[in-house]
């Protein structure tokens, strides 16, 4: 007979119309996160509102069987404008899941009073006093990128945008 699984990890997403899509049921938290992250990379193809990873303890009756490990809300990315910016409401972090963008926000690991944000494409990094300020910095960056145009940005234009943002 097989070994008993004491708990399972269930990643899911909620659509704007209220429907929930369960992405599976896994014995490992790591696998649940991998499945959710892979799904979120395609999130711009759907109208999604939120996502979560829930732990279910097996053979327990009632609400005590369920623990919400993480909940994220989906917003438009301040840099690329796609609806792929996932904000972890519990841990003050956010990430655009479009691989060409990957804009991010997170709490500073050294000083919790500082909120870091960045855009890896041009190695942009800025420290802010609040989450709102970090989002604003990414919106400004996105606006500057849009003003450059749809053409491929050369290294000089990227450095110019980075220097302008650092001067602010």
37 and 98 inside one domain: no
Q: Which of the two residues, 158 and 149, has the higher pLDDT score?
A: 149
Per-residue pLDDT, 92: 79
Over the stretch 122-146, which tens digit does the pLDDT of each residue have?
889 999 999 899 999 999 999 988 8
pLDDT, position 148: 73
Tally of domains in the chain: 2
Domain assignment of residue 81, yes or no: no
Tell whether the model's pLDDT for residue 154 goes beyond 60: no
Q: Tell me: do 42 and 111 sit in the same domain.
A: no
Which pLDDT tens digit goes with each residue over 44-89?
A: 888 999 999 999 998 888 888 999 999 999 999 999 999 999 998 7
d(CA 154, CA 144): 14
Question: 8 pLDDT exceeds 80?
Answer: yes
Do residues 163 and 124 touch, judged by C-beta distance below 8 A? no
pTM value is 0.77
Domain annotation covers residue 86: no
Same domain membership, residue 139 and residue 67:
no
* Spatial CA neighbour of 121 closest among 94, 146, 101: 101
Mean pLDDT over 81-109 rounds to 89
pLDDT in the model for residue 1: 47
Least reliable range by pLDDT among 108-112, 139-143, 145-149: 145-149
Q: What is the span of the domain harbouring residue 31?
A: 1-75
């Amino acid at each position: 007979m097989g070994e008993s699984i004491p708990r399972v990890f269930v990643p899911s997403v909620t659509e704007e119309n209220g429907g929930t899509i369960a992405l599976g049921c896994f014995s490992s938290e790591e696998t649940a996160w991998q499945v959710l992250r892979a799904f979120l990379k395609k999130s711009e193809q759907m109208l999604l509102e939120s996502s979560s990873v829930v732990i279910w303890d097996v053979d327990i009756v009632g609400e005590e069987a369920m623990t919400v490990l993480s909940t994220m809300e989906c917003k438009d990315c301040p840099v690329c404008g796609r609806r792929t910016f996932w904000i972890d409401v519990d841990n003050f972090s956010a990430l655009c899941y479009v691989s060409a963008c990957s804009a991010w926000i997170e709490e500073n690991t050294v000083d919790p009073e500082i909120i870091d944000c960045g855009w890896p494409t041009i190695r942009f990094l800025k420290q802010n006093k609040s989450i709102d300020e970090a989002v604003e910095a990414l919106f400004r960056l996105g606006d500057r990128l849009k003003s450059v145009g749809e053409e491929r940005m050369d290294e000089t234009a990227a450095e110019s945008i980075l220097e302008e943002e650092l001067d602010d």
